[in-house]
Amino acid sequence: MRVAIVSESFLPNMNGVVNSVLRVLDHLDQHGHDALVIAPDTVRGEPPAPRFHGRFPVYRVPAVMVPKISSLPVGLPQPGMVRAIADFDADVVHLASPFLLGAGGLGAALRLDLPAVAVYQTDVAGFAKSYGLGLASRAAWAWTRRIHEGAARTLAPSSAAAADLARHGIPRVHRWGRGVDIARFTPSARRAAVRESWLSGSEKLIVGFVGRLAPEKHVERLAPLAHDPDIQLVVVGDGPERARLTRLLPGAVFTGELGGDELAQAYASLDVMVHAGEHETFCQGVQEALASGVPVIGPDAGGPRDLIAHCRNGYLLPVDRFTELLPSAVAALRDPTLRTRFAGAARKSVLHRTWPAICAELMGHYAEVSGTEFRIPRSA
């Protein structure tokens, strides 16, 4: 199968969209399929982004920074995208979190009479609210609906995302979750040396956040924990909110962005993870923490609802009372017996969600919309 992937984000930047695209590309490569990636270049003044990812070509479009819309470069659709997809002779067009560049990808697919699978990954309307752009939020839903109505199929990562899409009149919605690397993200990655580097000899409960430091993540909601003498806050990640959060969370350890084994060790070395943002369509960070055997406290909204089993592997808190209730939820997990029970349930809850199984499911969606003979049975 030949798959053209149009992604709003791609390397050298990293976020949840990029991570999913990389996993799909790995699967396509390992199973002998071909791919073309269409993605933003770096912005002017920075070194050009790579034009290949392994054996797959990457067609780069110009990018600009639009701080009120995204903290990452925004790709600008180009007429040459049509020729690139036509020359590649794609069977299907995969739109990864389509918005601006994805709209161009959809236009190219329609012009070439190719089926498009739109993978809904980013709650742009919700993010706009986090950036204080109420009017933009309503406009974002109108634009999202316009894009997804043109796709042969929309894939939603969670029950909350699927319900949101249906509520806004978007047709042909199917569920497609995200996988997790259970070999890398594992309780065995816990490191005493990492914990000691954070604790400096103290015996505190380590409570952490892992993710991009952007307004929509609402890391500031961890502030009630910052002055608790028995808690060590650890913030793993980087982004435009770092300076403000450093002031709001005095005493917190800021590790910066981590990847690979360092990231896995950071996850597993936490006692509790907190994810406060309510605009997650899935929330891969929560899933990676659970795979690492770490109980998670998250909002009773969005993707975390499908991942956190309340009072079994973590706690779901009402969004409007999250900051108020967070200290009590963390206090409950000071009990090592309860924390151990939650940790075991956390790991067990995601063991079936491997990337090979999830990507095989995606191949089935490709096949169904493109009419190819290739079929793979769906996973649960």
Residues of the chain with pLDDT > 90, as a percent, come to 87
Across the chain, mean pLDDT equals 94
**362 and 345 housed in the same domain:** no
Q: How far apart are CA 313 and CA 316, in angstroms?
A: 10
Angle at 204 between CA 199 and CA 208, to 5 degrees: 75
Look at residue 71 and tell me whether its pLDDT is greater than 80: no
DSSP string covering 88-117, please?
HT-SEEEEES-SSHHHHHHHHHHHTT--EE
Buried b (16+ CB within 10 A) or exposed e, 349-362: bbeebbbeebbbbb
172 lies in the same domain as 275: no
CA-only gyration radius of the chain, Å = 21
Q: For residue 45, what is the domain's CATH number?
A: 3.40.50.2000
Same-domain status, 364 and 340: no
| Residue 373 pLDDT > 70 | no
| pLDDT score at 123 | 83
Say whether pLDDT at 380 is over 60.
no
Region of poorest pLDDT, from 13-17, 187-191, 288-292 = 13-17
Domain identity same for 224 and 88: no
Compare 133 and 62 and report the one with higher pLDDT.
62
Do 18 and 93 lie in one domain? The reply is yes
Whether 116 is in a domain gets the answer yes
Q: Is residue 375 part of a domain?
A: no
The phi and psi torsions of 342 (rounded to 5 degrees) equal -60, -40
Global pTM reads 0.87
With respect to residue 162, please indicate whether it lies within any of the assigned structural domains. Answer: yes
Separation between Cα atoms, residue 374 and residue 360, nearest integer Å: 11
Contacts of 19 by beta carbon, 8 Å cutoff, 6+ apart: 284
Highest average pLDDT, of 73-77, 136-140, 292-296, comes from 292-296
- Identify whether 328 is part of a domain: yes
List phi, psi (to 5°) of 29. Answer: -65, -45
Domain residue limits at 281: 187-350
Is the model's pLDDT at 29 over the cut of 80? yes
194 and 313 share a domain?
yes
Whether 374 has a pLDDT exceeding 80, the answer reads: no
User: Beta strand 63-64 with 74-75: parallel, antiparallel or unpaired?
Assistant: antiparallel
Q: What is the pLDDT of residue 379?
A: 41
Indicate whether 144 and 58 sit together in one domain.
yes
Is 150 part of a structural domain of the chain? yes
Say if residue 231 is in the same domain as residue 246.
yes
Residues 227 and 291 in one domain: yes
Same domain? 197 vs 154: no
Q: What is the pLDDT of residues 74-121, one digit of tens each?
A: 999 999 999 999 999 999 999 999 999 999 999 999 999 999 999 999
Among left, alpha and beta (phi > 0; psi -120 to 50; other), residue 178 is beta
pLDDT in tens, 162-175: 999 999 999 999 99
* CB burial readout 41-50, b (16+ within 10 A) else e: bbeeeeeebe
- The pLDDT tens digits of the residues spanning 43-54 come to 998 999 999 999
How many domains in the chain? Answer: 2
In a domain, 23, yes or no: yes
